[in-house]
Amino acid sequence: MPFFDAARVFIPFIVAFAVGIMLTPLLADQLYKHRAWKKKAGKGKGLGDDTGTPLFDLLHKEREVSTPRMGGLLVWGGVAITSLFLMLLGWIFGPPLTLLNFVNRSQTWLPLAALIVGGVVGFFDDLLEITQSKGGLSLRWRLLVVALFSAFAGWWFYAKLAVSTVGIPFFGALPLGIFFIPFFMIVTLLLYGSGVIDGIDGLAGGVFAIIFMAYAGIAFAQHQVALAAFAATVSGATFAFLWFNVPPARFYLTETGSMALTLALAVTAFSADSLGKGVGVAVLPIIALPLTATVVTNILQVFWKKVFKKKLFRIAPIHHHFETMGWPPYKVTMRYWIITIMAGVFGIALALLK
């Protein structure tokens, strides 16, 4: 029944939010106790050249060496705890509570695995960053992890779930055959590149929470209740993070959060595609418009520097460019939230047109 299906999505969302709220005092206490922040401000070399990032360093140097990293632990940790709690609840008390367990092979094993893998690898990157101040894991190694996981995930969709197409609005299924796997890898790598949106208090948390909420709506409309519950759980945990990350932020999402969320989002978008007879991937650039802008402006900045020997933007990605124009950080954040909501509504409407 629709009511019970809605409860199966809404209850995990609320539980994840509550778990995050309860975990925050413990996590914040440990992060501040161990001084889990960068010991040296700045990003080092600039994007595509060796000039450094003086404008970024000027805007953020004080907060970078006084605000803890690893806030993403709250997100993927909250999702993991919520998933385990609901699973145990059903196992102990039986029906109807078993319906709240959204972990299953066909819809949520892979997105949950993506979230955990990204979170754990990102955690080690953050740990090296705060203990050695050498930039954490090299970008080469992080890209290798993302490439390997996305290759495995693409193969799983292709070989285990018999998916080799992507949905196109007003057109139908576009067959890719074996090329579905490299396409999956490219989308995932581009999404991972958008993780640098984590640069202003509350920006990444709000954007990701809204995006996952949009995918929960799409999955629910396509009768993928377990996937909708997973996306809602991620959204609930991210909203709990955002509750404590509105300016001034108590801690930053950083790699353990951004890698977890971008990998999980890639798998969620593909799961809401052909498996649900939908267009989850085609609407991804719309629903995740701020992430799209982040990747595109980074690529344009590198291209401009290589070809024209000058910058196109004062800083890339573009949300930092807006800061240099005089926008207060909180205005950039809230305007990004507004844009994400509007883009999400449009993306949902487009995805549900049949």
Q: Which domain holds residue 234?
A: 2-351
> Own/partner pairs for 333-342, CB < 8 Å, 24+ apart?
333/200, 333/201, 333/202, 333/203, 333/206, 333/247, 336/203, 336/206, 336/207, 336/290, 337/206, 337/207, 337/210, 339/289, 339/290, 340/206, 340/207, 340/210, 340/211, 340/288, 340/289, 340/290, 341/210
> How large is the greatest C-alpha to C-alpha distance in the chain, in angstroms?
66
> Contact 254/72 with Cβ under 8 angstroms?
yes
Cβ-based neighbours of 162, under 8 Å, separated by 6 or more? none
Q: Which two tokens stand for residue 176?
A: 């890719």
Are residues 257 and 202 in contact, defined by beta-carbon separation less than 8 angstroms?
Answer: no
Query: Does the bond joining 248 to the residue before it have cis omega, within 30 degrees of 0?
Result: yes
Q: How far apart are CA 86 and CA 291, in angstroms?
A: 31
Per the structure, the count of domains in the chain is 1
- Helix, strand or coil for residue 351? helix
Tokens of 230: 């997973």
pLDDT per residue, tens digit, the chain (354 aa), is 577 899 999 999 999 999 999 999 999 999 999 888 876 766 654 444 445 556 655 566 666 677 899 999 999 999 999 999 999 999 999 988 999 999 998 899 999 999 999 999 999 999 998 888 667 899 999 999 999 999 999 999 999 999 999 999 998 999 999 999 999 999 999 999 999 998 899 999 999 999 999 999 999 999 999 999 999 999 999 999 999 988 888 999 999 999 999 999 999 999 999 999 999 999 999 999 999 999 999 999 999 999 998 999 888 889 989 998 999 999 999 999 999 999 999 999 999 986
